[in-house]
Amino acid sequence: MTDTTAVTTPVAEEDKVLPAVVYGLYLLGFTNGLTWIVGLIVAYVNRDSAGPINESHFTFAIRTFWLSIAWFLIGALLIFFGIPMLIVLVGLPMIIAGGLILGAVGLWFVARCVMGIYYLSRGEAYPRPRAWLI
């Protein structure tokens, strides 16, 4: 009689604390702004030495930061150049578009952090860390 039970090797579980700290610092950044930079530094410092799960979360967090900065600058520039152009009423659509972009970037940033926390709490790597969307 043969034994049909499979022998399973224990899977090394990665520590979830540092990616969770990065996501928490990012979300806390809406109150003071400084913790966004601290979270980015933590993600950069730990990305190379992390396992595959945490590496995907750190990559995702780093891309989230830089993409949000790029879109924030686009929205801010639209508002900045739209204000002086209000004299000829051309600036109003620019200001509205800039405000919509800034609002969308804020929601997008929070949604990405929440999705990162969701996958991290399940112990999974982020499935698409280099994607633009969520």
Tokens coding 38:
């601290």
By the 10 Å C-beta count (0-12 exposed, 13-18 middle, 19+ buried), 81 is classed as middle
Indicate if the pLDDT at residue 15 is higher than 90. Answer: no
Confidence of residue 63 (pLDDT cuts 50, 70, 90): very high
Report the alpha-carbon distance of residue 92 to residue 109 in Å, rounded: 26
pLDDT of res. 60: 97
Closest CA to 99 of 81, 76, 83, 121: 76
* First-residue to last-residue Cα distance in the chain: 52
Q: Average pLDDT of the chain?
A: 90
Tell whether the model's pLDDT for residue 3 goes beyond 60: no
Global confidence as pTM:
0.85
> According to the model, what pLDDT value does residue 10 have?
43
% pLDDT > 90, the chain: 79
